[in-house]
Amino acid sequence: MSSPDPRLPLPESFVDEMKRYLHLLPEDANLLRELGPLMEKYLPEMAEKFYAQVPHHPGASRVFIGGEAQVERLKSTLQAWGRGLFNGVYDEPYAEHRFLIGFRHVRISLDQKYVISAMGVVRSFLMEKLFDEFPAREQRLAFSQALGKILDLDLNLMCDSYFRATMAHLQTLNQELEQAGAQLAGANAIKDEFLAQVSHDLRTPLNSILSFTKMVLDGLCTNPEEEKEVLRDVFSSGQLLLRLVNDLLDISAIEAGKLALDIEELDPRAVLDSTLPLVAVQAASKDLQIIDETLEQSLPAVRSDEIRFRQVLLNLLSNAVKFTARGCVRVRAIESPAEGRLRIEIEDTGIGVPVEKRDAVFEKFVRHNPKALRGVTGSGLGLAIAKRLVEMMHGEIGLETGADGKGSIAWFTLPLADPQATEEARTA
């Protein structure tokens, strides 16, 4: 960079500084230019000497992947370098070019000590030939000093390029390391949060069990009926605790990738018939009707894990019953041969889930417990587990608003075992 103001010193560049340090003067450049034509005939042999060494270092096969042809090309490059050395133009572009060679060496992880030693061989060779050309001591001295200076400059440029390239590489590695560290810290924070939530959620029912048990033991209940009522709370707290522990084991296994699925061809009818009765008692106690709209249908076989299919269905069904005070819960199946999927829907006439919370309820510990539904408690993991299970079975899961704008439709899809088979073909 030249400055328009001559009073301001130019920024000291590496090559200028080294030229000053080595006393590489214009006279030296002139001597080297004079030397060039005389030395031209030695350049092929110089290249031979250099490459007699370098390709035989350990790991050379990794660096010289082009084999003989590559080494031949590199020999002519080295001769061009030699010509540049005698050319007398030691400016910024010259330095940059020299730098680029060093960067390339680092990139291909050519170990610098082999290059430096080979350069030593080149120096001895050139000095020897220079001595042959100039038997007179006076001339020889001036030429060899000039050659020594430029070889020093060149070696310095090379070593500095190695250093800078290595630094740049280290900086990149450091950045990667910092990013990895930040990611790890983020993951750790999520884990801490999870742990805090889990310990709170485990402690809550456990504390109820302990405090109510103590109350009975202290004889604070006035009659056996009240004792029974308190014990029912103890029992339901124990059930909640068990559900939470089971769900935690499930989600940990899923997230650790240790949950093995047994995917097979399944008749959804069998799964529906064995799961629906499990929520019937809960529904009947609230006067809710469960309507199975699939009864008239012939259902196609799906590919799925039977236990996990049932678990997802049960979770969505018991949510529907839990969040519905009056009305009914409908179960529907929609076959989509074009997409190769069977979609199972559970529609309720309950409180519904606001649109903005529909994605969140599939996350861990996000409970949709509006004020209207006090006392509704779950592990907060049911839908998170259902989502992961459905995805592991190559399906999708979601929530929509119910048909009349009230309630909600929870749905999930499973892949058809034979997407080509039509309903007619099955019933025929």
Interacting residues with another protein (CB under 8 A): 200, 203-204, 207-208, 210-212, 214-215, 218-222, 230, 233, 237, 369, 371, 374-375
Q: Which residues pair with 415 in a beta bridge?
A: 341
> In whole angstroms, how close is the CB of 371 to another protein at the nearest point?
5
With respect to another protein, which residue has the nearer C-beta, 204 or 401?
204
> In whole angstroms, how close is the CB of 303 to another protein at the nearest point?
41
> In whole angstroms, how close is the CB of 428 to another protein at the nearest point?
56
With respect to another protein, which residue has the nearer C-beta, 203 or 286?
203
Burial classification of residue 141, based on how many CB atoms lie within 10 Å of its CB (0-12 exposed, 13-18 middle, 19 or more buried): exposed
With respect to another protein, which residue has the nearer C-beta, 40 or 226?
226
With respect to another protein, which residue has the nearer C-beta, 222 or 420?
222
With respect to another protein, which residue has the nearer C-beta, 7 or 374?
374
* Residues 275, 317 contacting (CB under 8 angstroms): yes
> In whole angstroms, how close is the CB of 370 to another protein at the nearest point?
9
Helix (H) or strand (E) holding 289: strand 289-292
Kindly report the number of other CB atoms within 10 A of residue 280's CB atom. 13
> In whole angstroms, how close is the CB of 366 to another protein at the nearest point?
13
> In whole angstroms, how close is the CB of 225 to another protein at the nearest point?
13
With respect to another protein, which residue has the nearer C-beta, 232 or 426?
232
Cα dihedral 370/374/375/377 (nearest 10): 0
> In whole angstroms, how close is the CB of 395 to another protein at the nearest point?
33
* Residues 40, 83 contacting (CB under 8 angstroms): yes
Length of the chain measured in residues: 428
With respect to another protein, which residue has the nearer C-beta, 218 or 356?
218
> In whole angstroms, how close is the CB of 274 to another protein at the nearest point?
33
Sequence-ordered list of residues with C-beta below 8 angstroms from that of 95, at least 6 positions apart, any chain = 13, 14, 15, 157
With respect to another protein, which residue has the nearer C-beta, 61 or 222?
222
User: Amino acid identity, residue 373?
Assistant: L
* Residues 302, 266 contacting (CB under 8 angstroms): yes
Q: Helix, strand, or coil here: 340?
A: coil
Kindly state the DSSP code that residue 66 receives in the 8-state scheme.
T
Phi, psi of 334 (to 5 degrees): -125, 120
* Residues 157, 116 contacting (CB under 8 angstroms): no
> In whole angstroms, how close is the CB of 416 to another protein at the nearest point?
43
Phi, psi of 159 (to 5 degrees): -60, -40
> In whole angstroms, how close is the CB of 194 to another protein at the nearest point?
16
Kindly state the DSSP code that residue 363 receives in the 8-state scheme.
S
| Torsion sign over Cα 199, 200, 204, 207 | positive
Residue carrying the six token digits 């979770």? 315
With respect to another protein, which residue has the nearer C-beta, 167 or 210?
210
- Closest Cα to residue 250, out of 258, 238, 241? 258
With respect to another protein, which residue has the nearer C-beta, 381 or 410?
381
